[in-house]
Structure formats: C-alpha cells, structure tokens
Amino acid sequence: MAVRLLSKVKCLPGIQGVVYASGAAAPAQLSDFELQHKTPVIRKQKNIPIAQYGGRHAVTMLPGGGIGPECMGYVREIFKYIGAPIDFELVNIDPNVDNDDDVQYAITTIKRNGVGLKGNIETKSEAAYVTSRNVALRNELDMYAYVLNCKSFPGVSTRHKDIDIVIIRQNTEGEYAMLEHESVRGVIESMKVVTASNSERVARFAFEFAKRNGRKKVTTVHKANIMKLSDGLFLETSRRLAQEYPDIEHNDMIIDNCCMQLVARPHQFDVMLMTNLYGSIVSNVVCGLLGGAGLLSGRNYGDNYAVFEPGTRNTGTAIAGKNIANPIAMINASVDMLEHLGHHYHAGLIRRALDKTINTDRVLTPDCGGTASSSEVVDSIMQNIGRC
C-alpha cells in the first residue's frame, strides 16, 4: 500500500504522503511487512482526513472470535441507548481462512477511520507463513504503545485492594518480530529485535503519559542482566529519557523479580514500562490480581491510529454463546474509545453506570464471583445510565 501511495504522491505535490523520518528513499517492491521491519526509517502513515462528519465518528468494529461478537452486541446496545454519535463499520474476519484479505481490509478501514474497537481475532492456522492477525494488525498500523489501566474495582473481591497501575508495553517489536527460522535441523532461532528508535518512542510515550496524568513514578521492566544488549538498549533508552523528566521518579526492575513483587506488594508500582513479551505476561498477571480477564480494557496507540480492546487478549471461545462472558472489558474499551474521540459526556454516562453496577449493585458475572448472566449485567448498566 505504502509503495503504491508513494508512486502517486510524486505526481501530486499537494498531498503529503509517506513521511520520511530521515530523508531515506523508499525501496521499491517491498511488502508492507518488509517495509515495516526492514526500513525502520520510513514511517508509512499517510495523512488521511479523519472520519468525523456532523459530529459523528465512524469507527471500525472488529468483533473477532469467541465472545467478541456478543460483547460487541452489548456495546452497540448501550451506544444506541445513550445515543452515542458513533457509526460502526463492522468488519468480520473469518478465522478459518488462510489468506489475509479480511485482515488487510480491516487494517485499511482502521487507516481511514483512525479508530478501531476490537475483540480478539483468532488465528486458527498454525502454518508458519500465517502470522498472528493481532500482531499483523498492530505492526501494520505501527501502534507501538499499548496502555493498560489497572485500577481495582472495590466491588470485586480480590487479595489486594486499591491497586492503581498503568502498564505501558512496546507493542510492535521485541519477541513479536515474528522472525524465526531453523538454521540447522533441530535448531530454531527466534529473533528478538529491539531498536533504539522504537524504544525511545515508547519510553517517551510512558513519561509523557506519566506527566500528563499526574503520575509519580515510572518503572522500567527488563532482563538486561541476561540480554545485555537488547534489553540493555531498552533500559538505557528509558534511563536517558528519564533525565528529561526530573519530576518523575524512575527505577527499573528485572522481570522475574517484578512478577514476584506484583503479586506480593503491588502498591509500589505506578507506571510500568516494558518490552513486548514482558508486557504480555505482566498485564495478564495484573489482570489476574484485579479479578480476571473480563474487566480491564487496553489501548493501542500509534502516531495516527488508536485501537481499543479488552485488556487480556483471550478469545474466550469456550464460554462463547453461553451468556456468562463478562461484558465489562469490552464496555470499558468502548468507553476508552469515546474518551479518545472526545465524547466525554457519553463516556462519563457509561463510566458512572458501570461503576455503580460493579461496585455498588455488585451485579457481576461468575468469573468475578457473581451470579449474574452477561445480559443481566448489561441490563443493570443500562438501568443505571442517567441515574447516577
């Protein structure tokens, strides 16, 4: 896509097309994936006008597999109920098909809408050439930062109370570079790629996030004692950036120790910054601490696009269609999306109703120790809208 756009841009001086970070020429005939990974100096986003008309936003909706479709149904129900000015563009991705047409189309729709709401997309095929669709989506859109807001719900009984941690995860490289090969029979090498530019971007994101949200401390999580070069680079970069933010305390912690500290004394953490795989592990640990997979929502940010999704990336295929899935994670994600688009009024309406349902009324699904069905939770939220 980028290459094709590029060729057009040359004849059309008014359009600001591919942005060159350092004046490098774009090599011809590279696939999108190669462009992404082999030409890091090219940022491929094109300035596309955002889809906002008459105060209404168009948003791509990717229900994904498992409980995704039913949760999206609840979100639509609530949005319709409060009259949220959002027009969803639904893109279904068939998990059983091996080709990437649907995924590419989904990526295109997010590019033109700017914002997406997504469930977890299944990649059924285990063939090596089929990349994980979630990863492909993040890489293609260059959404380098993932943010997970972990705040305890007083209404959900857990071992630790009043946890308030923000996890910021590098989302596009590291172990998820998807570069694996068998160099000699029986020997597989998997590359973990850490680049200074991406480390700097995500570290800058973390410190800016801390500054703007009045956070006090950033903890960089790493394993630089073993991977001295790769994780070392990540750690060095965050230390260097920390000097630019003297008001924010910065420390670092090794991933294994970090996991132990998280389950033992989670209150010491404020903002946590980490590479891709550690982020995946730590966010699941924290979700577990706060009451399971069904509550928290995650946000993926790139320079131009944002995608909102449930915090733990599980499809929940086993409980699909049984009306027991916890809809709160997806509803939380939709609230994040409304806030991102500036619809604070509507976001507040749902947020307050959600808060009352979970913490005061305690209408919860079985995974959080309640007895309510998914639709009962949604009904309770809708009843609380406008009443609190």
Give residues with Cβ within 8 angstroms of 1, minimum separation 6: 32, 44, 108
Between 84 and 148, CB nearer to another protein: 84
Exactly one of 52, 92, 197, 373 binds another protein (CB under 8 A); that residue is: 52
* Residue 53 interacting with another protein (CB under 8 A): yes
Between 5 and 259, CB nearer to another protein: 5
- With beta carbons less than 8 A apart as the criterion, state whether 64 and 71 touch: no
Rounded distance, CA 10 to CA 2, Å? 13
Give residues with Cβ within 8 angstroms of 107, minimum separation 6: 136, 137, 140, 141
Between 35 and 271, CB nearer to another protein: 35
How many other C-beta atoms lie within 10 A of the C-beta of residue 304?
Answer: 19
* Residue 56 interacting with another protein (CB under 8 A): yes
Helix then strand count (H, E) for the chain reads: 12, 15
* Residue 18 interacting with another protein (CB under 8 A): no
- With beta carbons less than 8 A apart as the criterion, state whether 145 and 198 touch: no
- Least distance (Å) between residue 281 CB and another protein: 36
Binding range to another protein, per CB under 8 A, among 63-71, 107-115, 185-193, 359-367: 107-115
- Least distance (Å) between residue 87 CB and another protein: 5
* Residue 54 interacting with another protein (CB under 8 A): yes
* Segment 299 to 328, residues that bind another protein, using CB under 8 A: none
Exactly one of 18, 69, 81, 125 binds another protein (CB under 8 A); that residue is: 81
Between 86 and 233, CB nearer to another protein: 86
Between 30 and 51, CB nearer to another protein: 51
3-state SS assignment for residue 34: helix
Rounded distance, CA 47 to CA 111, Å? 9
Comparing C-alpha atoms, which of 329, 335, 331 is closest to residue 368?
329
Rounded distance, CA 149 to CA 159, Å? 18
The owner of tokens 């790493």 is: 222
Exactly one of 43, 69, 76, 89 binds another protein (CB under 8 A); that residue is: 89
Between 73 and 370, CB nearer to another protein: 73
* Residue 386 interacting with another protein (CB under 8 A): yes
Rounded distance, CA 119 to CA 65, Å? 7
Structure tokens at 350: 């749902």
* Residue 11 interacting with another protein (CB under 8 A): yes
Question: In terms of DSSP H, where are the helices of 132-228?
Answer: 133-140, 196-212
* Segment 328 to 367, residues that bind another protein, using CB under 8 A: 341-346, 349
First-to-last alpha carbon distance for the chain, in angstroms, is 48
- With beta carbons less than 8 A apart as the criterion, state whether 257 and 222 touch: no
Between 90 and 263, CB nearer to another protein: 90
* Residue 10 interacting with another protein (CB under 8 A): no
Between 14 and 246, CB nearer to another protein: 14
| Chain residues in the site for another protein (CB under 8 A) | 1, 4-5, 8, 11-12, 14-15, 48-56, 58, 80-85, 87, 89, 105, 108, 111-113, 341-346, 349, 385-386
